[in-house]
């Protein structure tokens, strides 16, 4: 059911229409900068753009700058970008994605490309693009005062070692991936920060997605995973939000669960029959570009998030 101004109404709550074209434009704007590899010019320019755009929508926007170490023990600077809506509300939801892109196309079919950075249109930019459009919706249709949302774009998620060199850097004591979320989970932007739950988006822009219930998500927050999948299925997305248990994925949701103590799930495209390590065929290849982004997938995920949030 829609109201006269185009908003959908459910359970006496008006849910704003999620604009898939706008989300796609936000994805393309990121890839137009080129690969957003930390310490690059494209990374700096994209960070400034993200902060500028989010400042048009959110009540507060801040950049959490941090320094960490890569797999090769090299020090590097990162930026987590945090946009808050209703910052004084004690009931909070975290919506997050990573905004950096991988410096190595190490799953490309051509070995000559393995040291080339990727555009990361799906792996990074798609989740950010969806959440940017969610942010625009939250601005245009304000959330209830009792509910606060923090949109967090994590940096340095995708700077792990090249797959053919991973064994030499293997270290049980340190996770070389998800460095930005590890930092935020240990030192959140608000001391003593608490949230009711979190939802992570990763690779949410591909064609014919297969969103299974990621293993760790189901272990840490089955109630949330089940709730989100029911919402998606109620909206007609049953074909893509598959009610099956997926593989365990090491992603930004783990630090939120294990360090910050925030029940968080990962909405991620899992392909058990893929030749590319259970992810879409474009994963960590030069083909992860804007040509392989589907507006309909962005729209489906963003619409589901709008319904999930506004129904709170």
Kindly give the confidence (pLDDT) of every residue in the chain, 312 residues in length, as a single tens digit, with 9 standing for 90 and above. 344 444 444 456 789 999 999 999 999 999 999 999 999 999 999 999 999 999 999 999 999 999 999 999 999 999 999 999 999 999 999 999 999 999 999 999 999 999 999 999 999 999 999 999 999 999 999 999 999 999 999 999 999 999 888 777 776 556 799 999 999 999 999 999 999 999 999 999 999 999 999 999 999 999 999 999 999 999 999 999 999 999 999 999 999 999 999 999 999 999 988 776 789 999 999 999 999 999 999 999 999 999 999 999
Q: What is the pLDDT of residue 37?
A: 98
Query: 207-244 in b/e burial notation, b at 16+ Cβ within 10 A?
Result: eebbbbbbebbbebbeebbeebbebbbebebeebbbee
Taking the CA atoms of 106, 283, 46 and 149 in sequence, report the sign of the dihedral they define. negative
Q: What is the pLDDT of residue 147?
A: 98
21: left (phi over 0), alpha (psi -120 to 50) or beta: alpha
Cβ atoms within 10 Å of 170's Cβ, excluding its own: 10
Q: What is the pLDDT of residue 12?
A: 67
* Residue 28 buriedness (CB in 10 A; 0-12 / 13-18 / 19+): middle
pLDDT digits (tens, 9 = 90+) for 122-179: 999 999 999 999 999 999 999 999 999 999 999 999 999 998 887 777 765 567 999 9
Q: What is the pLDDT of residue 208?
A: 96
Q: Any idea which residue has 């975290």 for tokens?
A: 94
144/147 Cα distance (integer angstroms):
6
Do residues 122 and 288 lie in contact, with contact meaning Cβ atoms separated by under 8 Å? yes
pTM of the model: 0.94
- For the sheet with 91-98, list strands across it: 60-69, 75-85, 147-154, 91-98, 197-202, 264-268
């Amino acid at each position: 059911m829609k109201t006269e101004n185009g908003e959908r109404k459910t359970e006496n709550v008006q849910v704003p229409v999620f604009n898939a074209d706008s989300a796609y434009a936000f994805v393309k704007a990121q890839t137009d900068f080129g690969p957003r590899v930390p310490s690059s010019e494209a990374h700096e320019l994209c960070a400034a753009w993200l902060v500028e755009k989010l400042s048009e929508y959110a009540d507060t926007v801040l950049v959490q700058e941090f320094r960490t170490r890569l797999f090769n023990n090299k020090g590097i600077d990162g930026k987590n970008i945090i946009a808050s809506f209703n910052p004084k509300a004690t009931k909070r939801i975290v919506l997050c994605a990573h905004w950096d892109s991988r410096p190595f196309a190490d799953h490309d079919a051509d070995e000559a490309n393995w040291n080339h950075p990727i555009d990361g249109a799906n792996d990074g930019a798609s989740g950010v693009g969806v959440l940017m459009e969610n942010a625009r919706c939250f601005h245009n249709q304000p959330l209830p005062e009792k509910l606060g949302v923090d949109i967090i774009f994590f940096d340095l998620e995708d700077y792990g070692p090249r797959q053919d060199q991973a064994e030499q850097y293997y270290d049980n004591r340190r996770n070389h991936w998800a460095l930005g979320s590890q930092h935020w989970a240990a030192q959140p932007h608000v001391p003593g920060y608490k949230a009711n739950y979190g939802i992570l988006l990763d690779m949410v822009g591909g064609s014919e997605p297969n969103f299974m219930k990621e293993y760790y998500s189901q272990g840490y927050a089955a109630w949330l995973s089940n709730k989100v999948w029911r919402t998606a299925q109620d909206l007609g997305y049953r074909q893509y939000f598959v009610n099956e248990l997926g593989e365990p994925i090491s992603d930004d949701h783990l630090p939120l669960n294990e360090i910050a103590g925030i029940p968080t799930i990962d909405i991620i495209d899992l392909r058990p029959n893929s030749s590319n390590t259970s992810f879409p065929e474009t994963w960590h290849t030069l083909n992860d570009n804007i040509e392989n982004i589907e507006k309909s997938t962005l729209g489906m995920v963003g619409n589901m998030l709008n319904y999930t949030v506004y129904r709170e």
